[in-house]
């Protein structure tokens, strides 16, 4: 016992050392993460140390609180304990991967049940022990007692280890964690194409590692591609299955296992071999099928009844199918049937239905859309390999309702779904319609409803649009419509369903609970990460920027705590220091955000802050400045296309890819018949490759092709046109010759013949090559060429052969494309001399049916056939007067029959005929000549005609007027006498013979002839074709079952006074034809209620009723009998149809009564005159002078003396009320009353609501039509475009467009109305204002457009006039002038001082000068001048005297002009004036 205890102690000690050693070999990643965890204090271990606060100044001078680092701890536990040290839960250790992709995968995958660390140890030891045991084979004999003792010791060791492990797990759980370890690594494999391969490995580690698979260092997402990959994980054993391997699956695959302790990986190479492909596999070539050991057979798969290139239209249903034969048949084994579209496996859905009956595979595409276009492949997988077949399916666009509108976009998809927005993308259609696509409308529909809402008010041209305003948690589908000038297209196929949800929430939903065992995560109060403000995000970048929105993405911070973080986004306009928070209401959860409402053309920077319950963290590093605008350019035109012939209905087009372009969606190919300039799309779904086969072309037509590229920004310009190509099959090598036969054999040569290949490859066969080989028993020699120069005939004399030796021959045909494959080898032919000759001469030549231009020659076969049976005949003819050189062949191809009709003869000419027989050896000698035969119709000759009697019996009749004694009628079919009477019954009497068909059918088709014996060759023939037989059968049926032919079936019409007329008309009838009138199976007769009429000359049958009553509901019938013929026609009047007819009848009768008195011929309506006056009018009839006519408005009579009474007019039975220019005051209900002793009538017009709007719309139409063409006027401020209208209404909607875009109102560009002038003012025009201007006037329904092209000469003249006027205005405004301050006359006393100041203006400041009496005034001490501040010019004269009197002028001058201000100075002496007065007195 002590020994066992020592053993246990040693084992425990060894186990403890292994654990310590395993802990020692922790990865550097774990050590670094441990230190970072310690620094960040991610621990649940409680400590008595306290963190001290420190105040640290930042670069901006702000004081922030920073905590001191936590003290290091020797050990850490992840067991959550309460105050009594009882384990109450498990705290998830902090884990941070060293690469984002795997971390995302770990967060998204559903955590599996976690195993305890001791299981890892046990499993590792298990695999190690098994591996060692596999390497070392030991043979040891044990006694039973020894075996029992070792078993007991082993059980005791296991029990002790379990107890020890449980104790260690509670006391120190960290010591059980281990990095991932690959127990069994991946192994490389090589497989055939079409097979599946599975990679296996075994991984151990604690915590349980997360597994990721990679292909050439690219992460494999098996859940996204379940049809290709299947990843499984069971009990630490992991596998990856690659299904239906193809050549592109050849790659390096590696598995990565990752946990907090480290990472391990293993790499393996998978090689996929492809079977050799060729046009046709030879009998010894290896097929793509291998032996299946599971069933013990090799499955051979054959696909027949293949579907061809298919064409469908949107909305239709299309089925594709093939018959699959798998040999041999194994019970309960079925192959795997997989359908592909463009190499992508198809899954059954509401659009795609697949069916496998055991023999036939069918794919049904329900409600075709352009997304369904592509290359469809049927792949049949068996245990031995695969077989596949492919053909293209084209989907044409559905018919558009409005001509010229674009077709529907396609391939609508949703990306980057968030809780309130989603990015929708689509592909542009192939056909833009009659004008380029202006943009697209995006519609959305909430799942569960049928209401579609338009997402954008203004059409977007970019094929990518973020849809906002979604309700979080709801599901949506989207569709897109295209817009051009002609209208809006049909909507596209709806997108897949997308949920409005934050990506982080969606990831958590996919991942499920992540905590081990309980599905709960519990944090203890000792967790120091609670209350930690998160760090700053990193790698903030702008992933997408358009003129409509900008998308940001970033990486979460390293320090973020257990509770998770959310984010605030801030923006800043370049050139400013102010940051503005974008999402102030609600932080976002995912590291991705889209910003809208940014000003196009502005430059912005962005940054992100993290936040949690502890607060908001520091901002991230700002992004580089981003200019808001579309970054994606239109693709460049593709390279010149090259078109080459393919088949009789297809052409192969290849082209160069567009250069320097990003994100090309694909290419559209268009074709046009030369000379039409009408371009049709060849594909309705863009193709990414630069080669495409255009199908459904007209054979023999001459086509040109062009290509355009497309990306999200739009279409490229079309490429240059290809060279014209005629649609016909491409030239290829010819097919194999067939029928190699021996025509003649001599001692040292043999003559061979063969049949030309059925397919010449599209070009004439230029010759043949002959190969031979010797045959000795079962041993064959090598093939040798016999002729180096191609033969021009289908026969060959093989010389220099050895007598009595057997040879085989094969033939190859050659054309301009090359040499064909050899024919099948001939049979072994012995080279020895033949004694057989060609056929003898035919005998018994005679003629029948001699006519002016034709004759039928008949003969019997030769008595001697020659080497082989006769296989045909040749006929020669010559005119009787010609010599031997006059013989010419009647036909080129051999005639298999023993008769022939020779046509094209000259009437009255004599001819001689002869026939030659042919067999395999050749053509024999000609027969004895027959003739001369005169080509002349015998007088009185009649032809066979076909007759159908009244009972429908079909017969052929031949008459002969020259019957002689002993003459008989002999009937033949195909010139063989008829002996079987089961098909024909022949009746002959006197000079007439009738051949009656017993039961006419397709068996009776052929040439029937009749010969009268004992005459001068009187005969005739009749050829019964299928078309003729069908015509005769129709006539027979009509004779058996005659009917009265109706020209029209029974019809009904309403007459005046509400009378009802029932009538029908016959094609023809006799005078004995009788009619029976029936109502509801009761015969009716003429009386007070019914009036009947039957005009047999016209075949017209009529019945009249004065009115319809309730009892007249039912069926009216005319039964006709005309000899054997019968006919019936009926009309059913019941239900709503009868009641509607009855109502109309009563109305017509009431209308007739109304029209007996004064009445309205046309009720009150309205019209708008060209002067835009609204006139109410109506027409009246049957009025007298005493008839009262009264107008009223809103039930108030309009008297003649009222102001409105002047608007009433009457002329020629028409009443009018001229409202004039309509306004809302004219709204109301207008009535007109007619009344006299005979009766009264009333007509109303409601000029409110809809009626008022209708009048307004008509007014708008008249105004729009009256608008003049746009004219241009230049002013000093700019250019004015204007149009004159007759009248302007304030409700008229007028819009202006520049280059088909709506003009936004601004201070520089304004539109308005002045009087009857509609104008658009462009102030300070620039080159950008050039282009097409459109004035759009709403006419009530559509719009009237007036277009003016402001470019070229019009722009130049207008712009020059504007510059001229502007310069003149500037000159007038800035020229120098005297603006005031100077009087006209100044009277001053002598001796006084004179001081005058004049105000002047000018820009630039003018030059000032003074003049006196038109002479320059020179200033001095007596006269001083000043010019101050550029505005004030003054003159000062000290102690004026009479010499200072005179005219003074102030002259101002600058570059814009000169002006003078004049005034007169008068100096007087008071004493002199008094003396002068005294002298006067």
Report DSSP letters for 1393-1445, one per residue.
Answer: -EEEEEEEE-SSPPEEEEEETTEEPPP-SSEEEEEETTTEEEEEESS--GGG-
Give the whole-angstrom CA distance, residue 475 versus residue 445.
9
pLDDT given for residue 530 in this prediction:
56
> For 246-259, how does the pLDDT look when each residue is reduced to its tens digit (9 = 90+)?
878 889 999 999 88
Given a cut of 90, is residue 378 above it in pLDDT? Answer: yes
**Banded model confidence at residue 1245, pLDDT cuts 50, 70, 90:** very high
The H or E element containing residue 506 is helix 503-511
> For 826-846, how does the pLDDT look when each residue is reduced to its tens digit (9 = 90+)?
999 988 876 657 776 776 788
> Percent of the chain having pLDDT more than 70?
85
User: Dihedral sign, CA of 121, 127, 131, 132?
Assistant: positive
pLDDT given for residue 3 in this prediction:
43
> For 1413-1425, how does the pLDDT look when each residue is reduced to its tens digit (9 = 90+)?
888 888 888 888 8
Residue 945 backbone zone (phi > 0: left; psi -120 to 50: alpha; other: beta): beta
Pick the more confident residue, 1069 or 1015. Answer: 1069
Given a cut of 90, is residue 762 above it in pLDDT? Answer: no
Pick the more confident residue, 528 or 619. Answer: 619
Task: Pinpoint the alpha helices (H) of 1109-1163.
Answer: 1135-1154
| Tokens linked to 257 | 């296992």
Q: Are 447 and 529 in contact (CB under 8 A)?
A: no
**Banded model confidence at residue 508, pLDDT cuts 50, 70, 90:** low
Q: Locate tokens 């302790």: which residue?
A: 261
Instruction: Give the residue-averaged pLDDT of 1294-1304.
Output: 88
Instruction: Give the residue-averaged pLDDT of 555-561.
Output: 77
> For 1338-1362, how does the pLDDT look when each residue is reduced to its tens digit (9 = 90+)?
877 788 889 999 898 889 888 888 8
pLDDT given for residue 792 in this prediction:
83
> For 1417-1471, how does the pLDDT look when each residue is reduced to its tens digit (9 = 90+)?
888 888 888 888 888 888 888 888 888 888 889 888 888 888 888 888 888 887 7
Q: Are 236 and 203 in contact (CB under 8 A)?
A: yes
Given a cut of 90, is residue 795 above it in pLDDT? Answer: no
pLDDT given for residue 980 in this prediction:
81
The H or E element containing residue 1252 is helix 1250-1266
Report DSSP letters for 1181-1195, one per residue.
Answer: ES--TT-EEEEEETT
The least confident of 61-70, 634-643, 709-718 is: 61-70
Give the whole-angstrom CA distance, residue 1204 versus residue 996.
93
Pick the more confident residue, 480 or 261. Answer: 480
Q: Are 1147 and 1060 in contact (CB under 8 A)?
A: no
pLDDT given for residue 477 in this prediction:
95
Given a cut of 50, is residue 113 above it in pLDDT? Answer: no
Q: Are 938 and 1016 in contact (CB under 8 A)?
A: yes
pTM: 0.43
Other CB atoms within a 10 A radius of the CB of residue 1256 amount to 17
Instruction: Give the residue-averaged pLDDT of 585-601.
Output: 80
Give the whole-angstrom CA distance, residue 701 versus residue 699.
6
Instruction: Give the residue-averaged pLDDT of 1069-1095.
Output: 87
Other CB atoms within a 10 A radius of the CB of residue 1431 amount to 16
1138 phi, psi to nearest 5 deg: -65, -45
> Percent of the chain having pLDDT more than 90?
21
The H or E element containing residue 125 is helix 117-135
**Banded model confidence at residue 1480, pLDDT cuts 50, 70, 90:** low
Instruction: Give the residue-averaged pLDDT of 488-495.
Output: 92
Instruction: Give the residue-averaged pLDDT of 1155-1166.
Output: 87
The residue among 1334, 1257, 1255 whose CA lies nearest residue 1296 is 1334
Residue 1118 backbone zone (phi > 0: left; psi -120 to 50: alpha; other: beta): beta
Q: Are 1449 and 1410 in contact (CB under 8 A)?
A: yes
> For 972-1025, how does the pLDDT look when each residue is reduced to its tens digit (9 = 90+)?
888 888 888 888 888 888 788 888 888 888 888 888 988 887 777 788 888 888
Give the whole-angstrom CA distance, residue 209 versus residue 27.
14
Given a cut of 90, is residue 775 above it in pLDDT? Answer: yes
Given a cut of 60, is residue 74 above it in pLDDT? Answer: no
> For 140-190, how does the pLDDT look when each residue is reduced to its tens digit (9 = 90+)?
556 777 777 788 888 888 888 777 766 655 554 545 677 888 888 898 888
**Banded model confidence at residue 526, pLDDT cuts 50, 70, 90:** very low
Given a cut of 90, is residue 240 above it in pLDDT? Answer: yes
Strands (DSSP E) contained in 218-280 are 218-219, 229-234, 237-242, 251-259, 262-273
The residue among 552, 536, 549, 548 whose CA lies nearest residue 623 is 552
**Banded model confidence at residue 275, pLDDT cuts 50, 70, 90:** low
Collapsing DSSP to helix, strand or coil, 1480 comes out as helix
pLDDT given for residue 1479 in this prediction:
67
Give the whole-angstrom CA distance, residue 442 versus residue 495.
11
Cα dihedral: 1137, 1141, 1143, 1146 (round 10)? -160
Given a cut of 90, is residue 1475 above it in pLDDT? Answer: no
Task: In the chain, count H helices and then E strands.
Answer: 11, 104
Instruction: Give the residue-averaged pLDDT of 652-664.
Output: 86
Instruction: Give the residue-averaged pLDDT of 296-316.
Output: 90
pLDDT given for residue 141 in this prediction:
57
**Banded model confidence at residue 574, pLDDT cuts 50, 70, 90:** confident
Give the whole-angstrom CA distance, residue 955 versus residue 949.
9
> For 401-440, how does the pLDDT look when each residue is reduced to its tens digit (9 = 90+)?
888 899 999 999 998 888 777 889 999 999 988 899 999 9
The answer, yes or no, to whether the previous bond of 7 is cis (omega within 30 of 0) is no
The least confident of 70-79, 848-857, 1075-1084 is: 70-79
pLDDT given for residue 34 in this prediction:
35
| Tokens linked to 368 | 């075709």
Q: Average pLDDT of the chain?
A: 81
The residue among 994, 1118, 1016, 1105 whose CA lies nearest residue 1064 is 1118
pLDDT given for residue 175 in this prediction:
53
**Banded model confidence at residue 120, pLDDT cuts 50, 70, 90:** very low
Give the whole-angstrom CA distance, residue 1258 versus residue 1252.
10
Cα→Cα distances 1063→833, 1047, 1050, 1089, 1113, Å? 91, 11, 6, 16, 17
Give the whole-angstrom CA distance, residue 1278 versus residue 739.
91
Which residues fall within 8 angstroms of residue 234, CB to CB, at 6 or more apart? none
> For 1248-1262, how does the pLDDT look when each residue is reduced to its tens digit (9 = 90+)?
988 888 888 888 888
Pick the more confident residue, 651 or 939. Answer: 651
First to last CA, the chain: 177
Pick the more confident residue, 175 or 736. Answer: 736
**Banded model confidence at residue 125, pLDDT cuts 50, 70, 90:** low
The H or E element containing residue 1372 is helix 1352-1374
Q: Are 1269 and 1348 in contact (CB under 8 A)?
A: yes
Bridge partners, residue 303, by sequence? 324
**Banded model confidence at residue 924, pLDDT cuts 50, 70, 90:** confident
The total number of residues shown for the chain amounts to 1481
Cα dihedral: 249, 251, 252, 255 (round 10)? -20
> For 1183-1219, how does the pLDDT look when each residue is reduced to its tens digit (9 = 90+)?
888 888 899 988 888 888 888 888 888 888 889 999 8
| Tokens linked to 1418 | 């020179």
> For 623-641, how does the pLDDT look when each residue is reduced to its tens digit (9 = 90+)?
988 888 776 778 889 999 9
Give the whole-angstrom CA distance, residue 1379 versus residue 1387.
22
Strand 1082-1083 to strand 1090-1095: parallel, antiparallel, or no bridges (unpaired)? unpaired
């Amino acid at each position: 016992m002590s020994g066992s205890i020592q053993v246990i102690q040693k084992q425990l000690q060894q186990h403890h050392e292994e654990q310590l050693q395993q802990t020692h070999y922790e990865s550097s990643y774990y050590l670094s993460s441990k230190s970072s965890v310690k620094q960040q204090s991610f621990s649940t271990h409680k400590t008595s140390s306290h963190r001290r606060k420190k105040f640290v100044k930042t670069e901006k001078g702000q004081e922030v609180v920073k905590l001191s680092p936590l003290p290091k701890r020797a050990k850490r536990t992840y067991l959550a304990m309460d105050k009594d040290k009882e384990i109450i839960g498990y705290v998830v250790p902090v884990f941070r991967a060293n690469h984002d992709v795997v971390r995302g995968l770990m967060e998204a995958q559903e955590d599996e049940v976690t195993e305890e660390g001791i299981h890892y140890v046990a499993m590792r030891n298990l695999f190690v022990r098994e591996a060692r045991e596999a390497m070392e084979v030991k043979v040891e004999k044990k006694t039973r007692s020894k075996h029992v003792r070792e078993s007991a010791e082993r059980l005791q060791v296991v029990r002790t280890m379990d107890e020890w492990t449980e104790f260690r797990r509670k006391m120190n759980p960290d010591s059980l964690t281990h990095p991932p370890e690959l127990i069994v690594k991946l192994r490389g494999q090589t497989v055939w194409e079409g097979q599946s391969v599975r990679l296996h490995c075994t991984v151990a580690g604690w915590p349980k590692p997360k597994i990721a698979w990679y292909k050439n260092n690219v992460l494999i997402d098996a859940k996204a591609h379940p049809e290709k990959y299947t990843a499984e994980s069971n009990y630490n054993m992991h596998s990856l299955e690659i299904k239906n391997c193809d050549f592109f699956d050849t790659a390096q695959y590696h598995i990565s296992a990752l946990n907090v302790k480290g990472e391990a990986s293993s790499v393996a190479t998978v090689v996929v071999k492809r079977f050799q492909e060729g046009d046709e596999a030879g009998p010894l070539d290896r097929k793509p099928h291998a032996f299946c050991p599971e069933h013990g057979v090799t499955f051979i798969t054959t696909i027949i009844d293949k579907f061809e290139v298919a064409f469908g239209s949107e909305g239709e249903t299309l089925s594709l199918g093939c018959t699959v034969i798998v040999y041999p048949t194994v019970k309960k084994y079925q192959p795997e049937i997989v359908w592909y579209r463009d190499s992508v496996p198809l899954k059954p859905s509401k659009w795609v239905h697949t069916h496998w009956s055991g023999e036939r595979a069918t794919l049904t595409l329900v409600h075709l859309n352009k997304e369904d276009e592509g290359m469809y492949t049927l792949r049949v997988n068996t245990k031995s390999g695969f077989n596949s077949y492919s053909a293209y399916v084209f989907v044409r666009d559905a018919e558009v309702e409005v001509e010229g509108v674009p077709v529907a976009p396609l391939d609508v998809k949703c990306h980057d779904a968030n809780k309130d927005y989603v990015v929708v993308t689509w592909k542009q259609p192939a056909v833009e319609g009659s004008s380029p696509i202006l943009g697209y409308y995006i519609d959305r529909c909430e799942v569960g409803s049928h209401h579609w809402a338009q997402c954008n008010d203004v059409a977007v041209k970019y094929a990518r649009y973020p849809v906002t305003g979604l309700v979080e948690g709801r599901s949506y589908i989207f569709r897109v419509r295209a817009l051009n000038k002609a209208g809006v297209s049909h909507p596209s196929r709806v997108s897949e369903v997308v949920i409005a949800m934050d990506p982080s929430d969606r990831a958590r939903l996919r991942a499920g609970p992540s905590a081990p065992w309980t599905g709960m995560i519990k944090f203890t109060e000792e967790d120091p990460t609670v209350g930690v403000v998160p760090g700053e995000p990193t790698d903030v970048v702008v992933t997408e920027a358009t003129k409509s929105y900008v998308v940001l993405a970033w990486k979460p911070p390293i320090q973020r705590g257990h509770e998770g973080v959310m984010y605030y986004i801030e923006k800043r306009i370049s050139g400013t220091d102010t940051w503005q928070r974008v999402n102030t209401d609600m932080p976002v959860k995912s590291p991705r955000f889209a910003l809208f409402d940014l000003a196009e053309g502005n430059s912005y920077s962005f940054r992100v802050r993290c936040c949690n319950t502890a607060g908001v963290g520091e901002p991230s590093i700002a992004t580089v400045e981003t200019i808001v605008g579309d970054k994606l350019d239109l693709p460049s035109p593709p390279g010149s296309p090259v078109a080459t012939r393919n088949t009789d209905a297809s052409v192969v087009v290849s082209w160069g890819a567009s250069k320097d372009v990003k994100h090309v969606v694909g290419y559209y190919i268009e074709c046009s018949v030369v000379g039409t300039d009408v371009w049709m799309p060849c594909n309705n779904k863009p193709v990414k490759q630069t080669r495409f086969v255009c199908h459904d072309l007209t054979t023999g037509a001459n086509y040109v092709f062009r290509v355009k590229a497309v990306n999200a920004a739009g279409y490229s310009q079309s490429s240059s046109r290809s060279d014209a190509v005629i649609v016909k099959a491409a030239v290829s090598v010819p097919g194999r010759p067939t029928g190699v036969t021996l025509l003649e054999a001599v001692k040292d040569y043999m003559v061979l013949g063969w049949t030309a290949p059925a397919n010449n490859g599209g070009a004439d066969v230029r010759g043949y090559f002959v190969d031979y080989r010797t045959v000795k028993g079962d041993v064959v020699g090598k093939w040798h060429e016999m002729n180096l120069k191609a033969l021009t005939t289908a026969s060959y004399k093989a010389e220099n052969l050895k007598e009595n030796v057997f040879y085989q021959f094969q033939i190859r045909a050659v054309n301009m494309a090359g040499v064909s494959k050899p024919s099948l080898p001939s049979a072994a032919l012995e080279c020895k001399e033949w004694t057989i000759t060609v056929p003898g001469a035919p005998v018994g030549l005679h003629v029948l049916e001699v006519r002016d231009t034709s004759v039928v020659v008949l003969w019997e076969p030769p008595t001697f056939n020659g080497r082989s049976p006769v296989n045909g005949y040749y006929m020669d003819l010559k005119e009787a007067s010609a010599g031997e050189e006059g013989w010419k062949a009647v036909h080129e191809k051999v005639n298999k029959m023993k008769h022939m009709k020779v046509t094209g003869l000259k009437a009255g000419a004599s001819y001689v005929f002869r026939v030659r027989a042919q067999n395999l050896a050749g053509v024999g000698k000609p027969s004895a000549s027959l003739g001369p035969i005169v080509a002349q119709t015998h007088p009185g000759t009649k032809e066979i005609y076909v007759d159908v009697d009244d009972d429908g019996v079909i017969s052929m009749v031949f008459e002969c007027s020259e019957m002689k004694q002993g003459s008989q009628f002999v009937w033949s079919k195909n010139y063989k006498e008829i002996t079987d009477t089961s098909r024909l019954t022949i009746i002959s009497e006197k000079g007439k013979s009738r051949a009656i068909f017993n039961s006419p059918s397709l068996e009776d088709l052929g040439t029937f002839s009749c010969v009268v014996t004992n005459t001068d060759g009187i005969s005739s023939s009749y050829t019964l074709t299928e078309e003729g037989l069908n015509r005769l059968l129709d006539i027979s049926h009509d004779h058996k079952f005659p009917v009265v032919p109706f020209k029209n079936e029974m019809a009904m019409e309403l007459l005046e006074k509400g009378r009802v007329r029932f009538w029908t008309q016959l094609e023809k009838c006799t005078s004995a034809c009788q009619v029976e009138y029936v109502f509801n199976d009761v015969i009716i007769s003429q009386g007070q209620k019914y009036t009947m009429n039957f005009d047999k000359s016209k075949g017209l049958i009529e019945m009249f009723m004065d009115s319809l009553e309730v009892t007249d509901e039912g069926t009216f019938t005319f039964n006709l009998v005309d000899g054997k013929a019968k006919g019936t026609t009926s009309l059913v009047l019941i239900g709503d149809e009868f009641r509607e007819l009855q109502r109309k009848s009563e109305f017509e009768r009431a209308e007739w009564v109304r029209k007996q008195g004064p009445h309205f011929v046309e009720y009150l309506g309205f019209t708008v005159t060209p002067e835009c006056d609204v006139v109410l009018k109506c027409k009246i009839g049957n009025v007298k002078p005493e008839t009262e006519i009264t107008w009223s408005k809103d039930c108030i009579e309009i008297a003649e003396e009222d102001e409105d009474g002047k608007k009433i007019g009457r002329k020629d039975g028409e009443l009018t009320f001229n409202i004039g220019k309509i306004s809302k005051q004219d709204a109301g209900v207008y009535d007109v009353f007619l009344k006299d002793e005979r009766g009264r009538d009333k007509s109303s017009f409601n000029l409110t609501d809809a009626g008022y709007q209708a009048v307004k719309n008509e007014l708008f139409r008249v105004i729009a039509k009256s608008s003049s063409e746009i004219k241009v006027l230049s002013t000093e401020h700019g250019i004015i475009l204007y149009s004159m209208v007759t009248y302007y209404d304030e409700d008229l909607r007028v819009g202006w467009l520049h280059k088909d875009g709506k003009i936004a109102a601004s201070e520089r560009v304004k539109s308005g109305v002045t009087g009857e002038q509609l104008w658009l003012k462009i102030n300070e025009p620039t080159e950008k204002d050039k282009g097409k201007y459109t004035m759009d006037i709403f006419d009530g329904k559509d719009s009237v457009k007036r277009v003016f092209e402001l470019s070229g000469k019009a722009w130049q003249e207008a712009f020059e006039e504007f510059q001229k006027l502007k310069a003149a205005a500037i000159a007038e405004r800035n020229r120098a002038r005297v603006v005031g301050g100077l009087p006209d006359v100044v009277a001053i006393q002598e001796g006084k001082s004179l001081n005058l100041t004049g105000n002047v203006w000018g820009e630039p400041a003018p030059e000032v000068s003074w003049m006196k009496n038109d002479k320059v005034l020179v200033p001095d001490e007596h006269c001083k001048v000043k010019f101050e501040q550029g505005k004030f010019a003054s003159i000062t004269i000290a102690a004026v005297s009479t010499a200072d009197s005179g005219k003074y002028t102030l002259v101002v001058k600058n570059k814009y002009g000169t002006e003078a201000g004049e005034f007169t100075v008068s100096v007087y002496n008071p004493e002199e004036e008094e003396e002068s007065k005294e002298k006067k007195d």
